[in-house]
Structure 1
Amino acid sequence: MSRLINSSFSISKFINVIAIGRNGRFMSSDLNKTDEPFKVENAKIEEAETVDVPPPPTEKLLVLGGNGFVGSHICKEALNRGLTVASLSRRGRSSIKEPWVNNVQWHQGDLLSTDSWKEALKGVTSIISCIGGFGSNSFMYKINGTANINAIRAAAEEGVKRFVYISAADFGVVNYLLRGYYEGKRAAETELLTRYPYGGVILRPGFIHGTRQVGSMKLPLGVIGSPLEMVLQHAKPLSQVPFVGGLFTPPVSVNAVAKVTVRAATDPVFPPGIVDVYGILRYSQQR
């Protein structure tokens, strides 16, 4: 012990060496020269910080029907998350007069005419479809079924990684009154689950509420939807009643649908398959 104390290498210097070593710094062979290594190390750190690192690749999201009620909220949500966003619809650019609209790549095309829109798939990593409509049974099947099936097949051929389809909850007896609508929806769901067993997500909301732009008017659908959502989300057993149970499906806000949809389209760990309205409500409350 006396040899260590009497040597030129004191205990205090030994402690300094240990501390410096733990910080990942290396000293010269002369342990008495402690200033020089710090200068070299600091120079190395400063140099490393100035190296240009390319940014990570940007996810490009294509929203089918991005100029509609639900689609516009999805576009806005995706832009807020820093995504590159494009929209494809028959009308093209949205009529909404808000700044975020200028940040969307608007494409015009008809999903029933494949040649008019395939160019919009270039560089797309994920797709969200809000395509749907009402009319005669044959028209509803084409819009809700055939158009979406065309999009799903084209996306799979192009190598798009994920596809999210906004379908509709079962409303019991209403399904029979809108046969073409629901048959089209279910046909598109089957195609999606077949083509995208690991990257396909189907959302089945019921009534979607929020402020809806109709021409120059704004309809505050949340005035009705929000109270019903608060009440019916706790009445899940009623939704299991045969034939009429679907009428007790709780409404969900358009913001919640947009949040969950964008997450499903971009989060690789989001589970594939069908998400019902209760799942949408649950996922929308997560950060």
Structure 2
Amino acid sequence: MKKAIISRLLHSQSPPFLKPHYYRDRSLFAARNGRFLSTGSEKVDGSSKLEEAERVEFTPPKEKLLVLGGNGFVGSHICIEALAHGLDVSSLSRSGKSSLHDPWANDIVWHQGDLLSPDSLGNAMNGVTSVISCVGGFGSKSYMYDINGTANINAIRAASEQGVKRFVYISAADFGLVNYLLKGYYAGKRSTEKELLDKFLHGGVILRPGFIHGTRRVGSLHLPLSIIGAPLEMVLRHAKLLTHLPLIGPLLIPPVNVTSVAKVAVRAAVDPAFPRCVVDVYGILQHSQRNPA
């Protein structure tokens, strides 16, 4: 009797929880040093086994960020924000090294170059993974188009050719009648936006802030722009419907603090989950309050 029972157990099929087909159409994952290994369902059968993966110590390279106009009001805050995130940061501008004597400036690689001369971009773009451009300015109609449009378009094309992954452009909000008075300025900005979205199909981000406030340095002077900007931001950020009023509506777009612009710009430059898009003032205010992933 005992021999018969033992014989039946030896020749019977495996119990259901050991049957190979219970693993079919599934992926088998095993964590190894923070990475996940996957085996296809077609490779899992009764005779196969998952071999122990080698433990590989791998430190990914740092993101390398190039800030165009990094010694300006917005650009310097972007450099500070990027350094706080542990990025390798470099800057390119016509004046080269910043005149600021703050400690953070010593951690930036400063390049001197002119975006209107594409040949001066080569060395600065080497090894760069993302770019943020703060380049812009005012003047004659033709000058405004060149500095807001042509200069940035040259940078976008150079970055695309170098294989840069992400490009963030600090543009400007629409202000209705002001757009008409500053035709060269806005024509240049919008031409740059179009070029960016054409060249960077997945990693192009445009920020459109309005009036940017904070403490702005002009030589040895410190201009506290937040004295006006901060109260207006507090009031107007909750009055979005007013911006739809005829004529005066666009003038009621809320100001935004320079640190908020810097936070969103850096996040958009290094976070692959940040979508290709145009971010208006309200989007900047919203994203700046989110905790980094």
What range describes the TM-score normalised by the shorter chain of this pair? 0.7 to 0.9
State whether structure 2 residue 212 is matched by structure 1 residue 208: yes
1:120 aligns with 2:120: no
**Is residue 279 of structure 2 the alignment partner of residue 284 of structure 1?**
no
Return the structure number with greater helix share: 1
Q: Which amino acid aligns with 2:127?
A: G
Quick check: 1:136 aligned with 2:146? no
Which runs of no fewer than 5 residues in structure 2 stay unpaired?
1-53
Residue aligning to 1:5: none
CA RMSD of aligned residues (A): 1.3
Report the structure number with the largest CA radius of gyration: 1
State how 1:97-176 maps to structure 2 within 5 Å: 97-176=101-180
Q: How many residues matched?
A: 238
Is the 1:108–1:117 contact (alpha carbons within 8 Å) kept by the matching residues of 2? no
Q: Which amino acid aligns with 1:251?
A: P
After TM superposition, what 4+ stretches of structure 1 lie above 4 angstroms from structure 2? none
Report the equivalent of 1:256: 260
How many angstroms does 1:217 deviate by?
0.7
1:141, 1:104 → 2: CA distance? 29
Residue 268 of structure 1 corresponds to 272
Percent identity for Structure 1 against Structure 2? 69
SS at match of 1:231: helix
Q: Are residues 1:82 and 2:86 paired?
A: yes
Secondary structure of 1:92's match?
A: coil
Decide whether the 8 Å contact of 2:233 with 2:256 is kept in 1.
yes
Q: CA deviation at 1:54?
A: 4.1
Instruction: Report the 3-state secondary structure (helix = DSSP H, G, I; strand = E; otherwise coil) of the residue aligned with 1:223.
Output: helix
* Per-residue deviation, residues 64-88 of structure 1 (Å, max 9, x unmatched): 0000000000000000000000000
Query: Aligned-pair distance for 1:53?
Result: 3.1
**Contact 1:172–1:242 at 8 Å: present in 2 too?**
no
How far off its partner does 1:244 sit?
Answer: 2.4
Unaligned runs of 5+ in 1: 1-47
What does residue 53 of structure 1 align with? Answer: 57
| TM-score, normalised via structure 2 length | 0.80
Q: Structure 2: how far apart are the matches of 1:80 and 1:131? A: 22
Q: Which residue number in structure 2 is paired with residue 16 of structure 1? A: none
Q: Deviations over 1:218-243 (max 9, x none)?
A: 01111110000000001101111233
Normalising by the residue count of structure 1, what TM-score does the alignment of the two structures yield? 0.81
